Amino acid sequence: MLRHNVMRGVLVGATLAGLSAFGSGAATAATADATPCHIDGYICMTTNDIYEPTVYVADGSDYTFLRPTEVTTISNDTSKLYCVDAEYNFTLSPGQSITVTHTITSMGPTSAGCLS
């Protein structure tokens, strides 16, 4: 009987150790995903779209999503000001990063900001 309880204690201890290791790894992954990406000469967007989780737009290029897409982070590592067409339009300055969710349809470089 004692041997059975010892084995049960070993199994419970191993299971708890495995769960705690898995839990800490999951927290690290979630933190890493929340960090905006940065690539010189590109706008980098992290989306909630499983088919297109990261989008890169080259400096000076326009980009249009096939359908309105939730973007969670945007980093503008270009030399241009961009107009972002979203639920409300906003400008994204060179070197600016944001980590607020927006539903975006398109974006493009601008010299005067966004109209409307």
Q: Is residue 18 located within the same domain as residue 63? A: no
Over residues 78-90, mean pLDDT: 94
Other CB atoms closer than 10 Å to residue 96's CB: what's the count? 14
What CATH number corresponds to the domain at position 101?
Answer: 2.60.20
In the chain, the number of structural domains is 2
Predicted pLDDT of residue 110? 93
Is 115 among the domain residues?
A: no
Q: Is residue 46 located within the same domain as residue 26? A: no
User: Which residue range is the domain that position 21 belongs to?
Assistant: 1-33
For residue 85, the cross-strand partners are: 106
| 33-70 tens-digit pLDDT | 445 688 999 999 999 999 999 999 999 999 999 999 99
pTM for this one? 0.67
